[in-house]
């Protein structure tokens, strides 16, 4: 019997037949002495049963039985597992060698959740995003979303997901910002263990969520309602207000863009997203153009 905890990996997917196979391969080829099983959850599309595998590292294929969307798909996978740990992996991302052993070691006996740094691939250009710390606290996540803490790096104790921490919020509009919500909830309970080595390759181009501006707005406002303490962090509040301003500018709502840009500036005069929103609202440059430029450097709005 291995002393390493068993790990269940939830891979939600919709319509990425090639990418999901690469994602699974990166899981099944991990050097890890303990038990690994993967569950691919098909959301709003017919399951591909050819992905199912028996053996020492089985792969199961399920259909999302809960709320349509990413959150419901993840929770379908969580509920179907009996492993000690649960890990997430998006269908267009890949784990890099050494991820699981490093995270299990970092979890120790106290942490309920662990993340890693990431390598971002945007149209063939790669950038590493580090957190420059080994522990993430609630105050850190109020100041910043910390985008390097990507959901494809999340590892949890299943007992926490089925207990006090809870599963993924299925009422998040469009299943967006549910990952930040989960980080905030986890860090409120105890610090999140972090391995500051890029152990996940995250592909940004072609995201299902990239240009869903209305959903970006509603999901951020949902997050502010769930975590009002963000308003008390000048930097964190300004960041969110500035993002909302940018998304309003992207849909051509100049009045709301300037309203939220002003809120961002009042919270933190140095918030750059306020300036981006103002310039975009004036029609000088489009938000997608700014996003593409930032993505080439592994960053986002």
Reported as a single tens digit per residue, the pLDDT across 107-135 is 998 999 999 999 999 988 999 999 999 99
**Residue 210 burial by Cβ neighbours in a 10 Å radius (0-12, 13-18, 19+):** middle
pLDDT more than 70, % of the chain: 98
Question: Do both 247 and 290 map to the same domain?
Answer: yes
DSSP letter, residue 301:
-
Q: Which residues are paired to 13 by β-bridges?
A: 42
Question: Do both 168 and 288 map to the same domain?
Answer: no
Question: Do both 120 and 225 map to the same domain?
Answer: no
- Write down the pTM of the prediction: 0.94
Q: Do the domain assignments include residue 300?
A: no
**Domains in the chain, number:** 2
Listed residues 140, 172, 203: the one ending a domain: 203
Question: Do both 258 and 285 map to the same domain?
Answer: yes
Residue 206's pLDDT is 61
Distance CA 298, CA 32 (A): 29
Q: Do the domain assignments include residue 301?
A: no
Q: Do the domain assignments include residue 2?
A: no
Residue at token pair 């099944």: 28
Does the pLDDT of residue 210 top 70, yes or no? Answer: no
On average, the pLDDT of the chain sits at 95
Reported as a single tens digit per residue, the pLDDT across 14-63 is 989 999 999 999 999 999 999 999 999 999 999 999 999 999 999 999 99
Distance CA 23, CA 168 (A): 21
Residue 118 near residue 200 (C-beta atoms within 8 A) = yes
Question: Do both 154 and 220 map to the same domain?
Answer: no
- Mean pLDDT over 160-172 rounds to 97
Question: Do both 183 and 223 map to the same domain?
Answer: no
* CATH code, domain with 91: 3.90.550.10
Listed residues 175, 203, 231: the one ending a domain: 203
Does the pLDDT of residue 234 top 60, yes or no? Answer: yes
Q: Do the domain assignments include residue 157?
A: yes
According to DSSP, the β-strands at 85-88 and 155-157 are: antiparallel
Interior angle at CA 258, CA 217 and CA 275, nearest 5:
95
Q: Which residues are paired to 157 by β-bridges?
A: 85
Q: Using alpha carbons, select from 203, 106, 198 the residue that is nearest to residue 149.
A: 198
Range scoring the smallest mean pLDDT among 110-114, 205-209, 247-251, 282-286: 205-209
Question: Do both 94 and 163 map to the same domain?
Answer: yes
**pLDDT bracket for residue 1 (50, 70, 90):** very low
Q: Do the domain assignments include residue 1?
A: no
**pLDDT bracket for residue 291 (50, 70, 90):** confident
Question: Do both 128 and 259 map to the same domain?
Answer: no
Residue 207's pLDDT is 59
Question: Do both 160 and 245 map to the same domain?
Answer: no
Question: Do both 194 and 45 map to the same domain?
Answer: yes
252: left (phi over 0), alpha (psi -120 to 50) or beta: left
Residue 133's pLDDT is 97
Q: Using alpha carbons, select from 159, 150, 31, 142 the residue that is nearest to residue 107.
A: 159
Reported as a single tens digit per residue, the pLDDT across 235-266 is 999 999 999 999 999 999 999 999 999 999 99
Range of the domain at 189: 7-203
Does the pLDDT of residue 79 top 50, yes or no? Answer: yes
Question: Do both 46 and 155 map to the same domain?
Answer: yes
SS3 12: strand
Listed residues 145, 169, 203: the one ending a domain: 203
Q: Do the domain assignments include residue 48?
A: yes
Question: Do both 179 and 236 map to the same domain?
Answer: no
């Amino acid at each position: 019997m291995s002393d390493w905890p068993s790990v269940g990996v939830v891979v939600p997917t919709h319509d990425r037949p090639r990418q999901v196979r690469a994602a699974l391969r990166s899981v099944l080829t991990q050097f890890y002495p303990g038990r690994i099983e993967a569950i691919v959850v098909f959301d709003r599309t017919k399951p591909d049963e050819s992905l199912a595998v028996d053996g020492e590292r089985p792969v199961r294929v399920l259909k999302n039985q809960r709320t349509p969307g990413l959150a419901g798909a993840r929770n379908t996978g969580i509920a179907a597992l009996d492993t000690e740990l649960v890990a997430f992996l998006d269908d267009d991302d890949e784990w890099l060698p050494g991820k699981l052993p490093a995270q299990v070691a970092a979890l120790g006996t106290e942490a309920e959740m662990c993340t890693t740094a990431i390598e971002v691939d945007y149209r063939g250009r790669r950038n590493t995003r580090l957190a420059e710390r080994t522990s993430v606290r609630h105050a850190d996540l109020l100041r910043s979303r910390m985008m390097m803490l990507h959901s494809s790096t999340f590892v949890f104790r299943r007992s926490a997901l089925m207990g006090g921490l809870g599963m993924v919020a299925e009422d998040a509009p469009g299943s967006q910002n549910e990952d930040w919500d989960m980080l905030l909830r986890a860090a409120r309970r105890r610090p999140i263990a972090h391995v500051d080595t890029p152990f996940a390759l995250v592909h940004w181009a072609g995201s299902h969520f990239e240009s869903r501006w209305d959903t970006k707005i509603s999901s951020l406002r949902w997050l502010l309602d769930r975590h009002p303490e963000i308003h008390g962090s000048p930097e964190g509040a300004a960041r969110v207000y500035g993002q909302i301003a940018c998304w309003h500018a992207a849909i051509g709502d100049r009045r709301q863009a300037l309203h939220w840009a002003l809120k961002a500036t009042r919270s933190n005069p140095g918030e750059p997203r306020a300036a981006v929103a103002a310039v975009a609202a004036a029609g000088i440059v489009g938000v997608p153009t700014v996003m593409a430029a930032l993505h080439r450097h592994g960053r986002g709005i």
